[in-house]
Amino acid sequence: MVAFVSFPPGQAPWTVLLPLKNLARAKSRLLRPDRGRLALAMALDTVTAVLTTASELVAVVMVITNEPAVQRALTPAVRARLVVLPDVPDEGLNPALAHGATVAGERWPGRPLAALSADLPALRTQELARALAEAGRHPRAVLADAAGTGTVLLTATAGAALDPSFGPRSREAHRRSGAVDITGPLGATVPGLRHDVDTVEDLDRARLLGVGSATAAALDGATPD
């Protein structure tokens, strides 16, 4: 079920695309035995932060995944407020996002699109709001991860194609394909948004920033390393 909200004319609330890999394959660089459980917990915290973002900014949240545990992990209240789209291509992150962008464009034409990593356990609602406000000023925009080479947020407005090129050095790839780099103006003000978690070191840094309740619970329940 999708929650439809009406917005004043002239406002352009976002469709947020959140890709999530199958948990058995997810977070291969996170060298912990519980990495699948953590990947799901981090995705739940990312979803919670996105759903808490003011409804004048985010209209639709679409999780693109083939992972069956996602449906089970979402409470009915949360499930009612987002769309889970099967990752039909099942060919990797960029095809999953391109598929999500196509479906979102058909279902909700004219809405700006934001592709966000689902491994942002320290994401704060206000950070996403700030980033979307800045991104909305450009046809396409990219926000770099904390390392400075990757991408945590890629956006497309005004009918522009999302054209995702995630992967190694994706910040540069997105800039080369015309996305405006909004990392400069925002940079230091959105640390949780920029801290995607791939490794145990990333996880430690996210914990210092403060992770959401699902990730905190998963870590609390974990056997010490």
CA distances, 198 to each of 14, 116, 134, 223 (Å):
26, 15, 26, 20
Q: Is 151 annotated as a binding residue?
A: yes
Among 36, 150, 191, 212, binds ligand PEP (CB under 6 A): 150
CB of 221 to ligand PEP, least distance (A): 24
Structure tokens at 21: 């890999």
Cα separation, 59 vs 219, whole angstroms: 31
Q: Is 53 annotated as a binding residue?
A: no
Instruction: Tell me if residue 19 falls in helix, strand or coil.
Output: strand
Q: Closer CB to ligand PEP, residue 67 or residue 145?
A: 145
According to DSSP, the β-strands at 140-144 and 151-156 are antiparallel
Q: Read out DSSP for 26-48?
A: TTTTS-STTHHHHHHHHHHHHHH
Q: Does 26 bind ligand GTP (CB under 6 A)?
A: yes
- Name residue 203's amino acid: L
User: Do 12 and 112 form a contact (C-beta atoms < 8 A)?
Assistant: yes
According to DSSP, the β-strands at 140-144 and 180-181 are parallel
Q: Does 151 bind ligand PEP (CB under 6 A)?
A: yes
Q: Closer CB to ligand GTP, residue 94 or residue 157?
A: 94
Q: Closer CB to ligand GTP, residue 139 or residue 205?
A: 205
Q: Is 170 annotated as a binding residue?
A: yes
Footprint of ligand GTP on residues 71-90 (CB under 6 A)?
A: 87
Q: Does 44 bind ligand GTP (CB under 6 A)?
A: no
**Of 159, 164, 67, 74, nearest in space to 115 by CA:** 164
**Per-residue interface string for the shown chain with ligand GTP, residues 127-166, x marking contact by CB under 6 A:** ----------------------------------------
Distance of CA 6 to the CA centre of its chain: 23
Residues that bind ligand GTP (CB under 6 A): 19-21, 26-29, 64-65, 87, 92-93, 96, 117-119, 196, 198
| Binding-site residue positions for phosphoenolpyruvate | 151, 167, 170
Contact residues for ligand PEP, defined by CB under 6 A: 93, 145, 150-151, 166-167, 170, 196, 198
